[in-house]
Chains A and B, each alone.
Chain A
Amino acid sequence: MSNNFKINDGKAIGSMFLVVAFFWLISYMFPVVVDDAVVVAATANYDDWIEEYQVAATSLAAIVFLSAIGWYGIARWYFQVEYPIAIDRRHWWLACFALPIFSYVLILFLWDSQIKEGQSSIYVSLGMLAVMGFYFATVFFSPPAYKYTPWGSEFFRGSKKLKMAVTR
């Protein structure tokens, strides 16, 4: 392939990592920065709780990142356009999106958080990581051939809108 048309996959994947890391950092640091947002039950130790929470946030971030690069990988190397039919791949993107959402829901169900107050803010913090981490990573850095497949990406990457596509 001519150098004029090289797609910089490393840069795109690195950028995805940074987006996920950004939301992970917000989520990870949230209870530390806003220290009165969460009050744990009297039976629980706050430091242990923080540790458990940060493990959950980091695991979720890893799943988000893996889902995002999974989407990138199949969109970049697995999908092939050869005929003017069956080119819709949004269901694949939704399937990849479902993975962090499902993991998030799983964390909510399985994790006995022992929070007395501020439970919803923790749920929002993790939810933001799962949803926004994947969404913005894929909206901005999906491979060019599927750059408008994520919902709303036309707004961010369309010709007249904010341009953050990594192409070379």
Chain B
Amino acid sequence: MSYYCISVGGTGAKAIESLIHLCASGLMPSNEELYILSVDPDTGNGNLTRSSVAINKYIAFQHLMVGNTDLFKTKIVPAVPFTWSPTDKSQNLDTIFSYAHMKHTPAAKLYEVLYTKQERTTLLDEGFRGHPSIGAAVMTEKIKLDEQEWGQEEHGIAEPWNFFLSRVAKDNQAKIFLTGSIFGGTGASGIPTIANLLRQKLKSNCKSGNVQIGGGLVLPFFSFTRDESVDNHDLFATSEAFLTNTQAALKYYHFKNSFEDIYNTIYIIGDENMTPVNKFSVGASEQENDSHIIELYTAFAAADFYASQSEAATKQYMYTARNDVNKIQWSDLPNPMAKQKLGQFTRFIFIYLHLFKPLISRIKEDPAMRYQAPWFIDYFSDINLNDHKIENAINAFDEYAISFVRWICHIQGIGKGNCNGRLCELFHPQIISNIAPPMFEPAFFPDMIMTEGSNKVSVNDIWNRLSAYEVKDPYAQGFGRFLRALYDCCE
């Protein structure tokens, strides 16, 4: 059994980032591998870059031996290449459909009716510019899952689908989760197209129950105003069209799933507050938006789908919502373990960056001061900190931890004063005094997990616990053993 996640477009990529953090904090249902593939024509977009950086860092330290624990329990396997782009460089719709060769044919005339000249000639390097009609055509044309194509590297298109399908075909219980926005260009066009193609290709596996497909569809949650410097003749997404796109897409999903049962489970995630995006960008590296609480919900939807048992006999409509419209609290998160596990993991990351990481660096420089940190003698005596492999794993973990802090800050709205127009009562808003580089206020550590009750743990408590604690798990070794001990002490 394995889990599979296909993110489509920028929103999908951001949901992947949240999913990685859930994997790290042990909120995935079991120890199965998670295979992740990203689909985006805009391979350089900032959101995707951020997710792939988080994945790469996670992969670089996931081999650390932390033993039998929830910490980093999900092994992540990224697709190779991680991002599949349905378009080659400098392609437009005309070149993809070889319009020049089919001019004056009935098909060409139909094509001219369906797409404006601007839609046909706009380069698709930076995505489908909020036009799902372009994306759907390109995706269907480019994703080759037919037997004769399977296994053939045709202009780099066969992979990563080839590996993905062969892996799923061998799996006795594959759970494939597709996620992305329903209102933009890439996600709106890619999710239904890919799900449909997968369902057709894996028909027998789906029927036997070996393959289940889930969808995490994100409704509009941000808005932006167009930058005046962008040429009016350019094709770009407009947030005014989001709601209309969404309405059409929901009708489509309702219709399609009523008759064809493409998805075993569909999660629809929305937010009544439209978060304004500060910087307008058509795409590419400039399209890097802050993480949003809706992406955390999407990641929880994925975890819920992976945790769900075999297909229900009757259709069920589950519903979750917040208790208080002006607040986001732990009880609003759709996983009863969220507070305990995400809370413990966040405490672990924060204190590692605040206290232990700087001390490890200092003791590495000056080993004579090691007696001041008893945990260093207990856990680092056998570790050669100058070994490149260990150094790389520690650096990867450090960078992952920093990216986690930034993610938490975005989710929580730290630095903005609120979380998209409401209070976020997950973590104490004053615990982080600076996001980059991350700096913390130790005085707020005992209260960092909000409305926690009696389980208040200060920085000094964790220092004391770690100094006395012994990891008895024989599978916890090296730097992983230290991380395991610290994580256990953060409960």
Q: Residues of A with Cβ closer than 8 Å to B?
A: 1-2, 4-5, 7, 80-84, 87-90, 143-149, 153-154, 158-160, 165, 167-168
Contacts and interface: CB of A to CB of B under 8 A. Distances in A.
B461 interface: yes
B459 A154 contact: no
Contact of A165 (B464, B465, B468): B468
A1 B457 contact: yes
Given A5-B465, A7-B468, A148 B374 contact: yes
Contact of A146 (B374, B442, B458): B374
Contacts of A82: 442-443, 458-460
Nearest to A158: B377
B442 A148 contact: no
Nearest to B491: A2
A145 B469 contact: no
Contacts of A148: 370-372, 374, 377
B66 to A, nearest CB: 17
Given A81-B355, A158-B381, A90 B371 contact: yes
B378 interface: yes
Nearest to B356: A84
Given A7-B468, A160-B381, A81 B371 contact: no
Given A81-B355, A81-B463, A159-B381, A5 B468 contact: yes
B276 interface: no
Contact of B464 (A88, A90, A145, A149): A145
B468 A159 contact: no
A145 to B, nearest CB: 4
Contacts of A1: 457, 461, 465
B463 A145 contact: yes
Contacts of A90: 371-372
Given A1-B461, A7-B468, A165-B468, A88 B355 contact: no
A144 B373 contact: no
Contacts of B362: 84
Nearest to A163: B470
A154 B373 CA distance: 11
B459 A84 contact: no
A116 B220 CA distance: 98
A168 B381 CA distance: 24
A150 to B, nearest CB: 9
Contacts of B423: none
A159 B460 CA distance: 22
B156 interface: no
Interface in B360-395: 362, 369-374, 377-379, 381
Nearest to B380: A159
Nearest to B455: A2
Interface in B450-475: 455, 457-461, 463-465, 467-470
B421 interface: no
B467 A145 contact: yes
A154 B442 contact: no
Q: Which of A80, A83, A144, A146 has the most CB of B within 10 A?
A: A144
Given A5-B465, A82-B459, A149-B371, A159 B377 contact: yes
B358 interface: yes
Contact of B374 (A7, A88, A144): A144
B338 interface: no
Contact of A144 (B381, B442, B468): B468
B371 A84 contact: no
Given A90-B371, A148-B377, A84 B467 contact: no
A84 B491 CA distance: 21
Given A1-B461, A82-B442, A82-B459, 6 more contacts: A5-B489, A84-B354, A143-B467, A147-B467, A148-B372, A158-B381
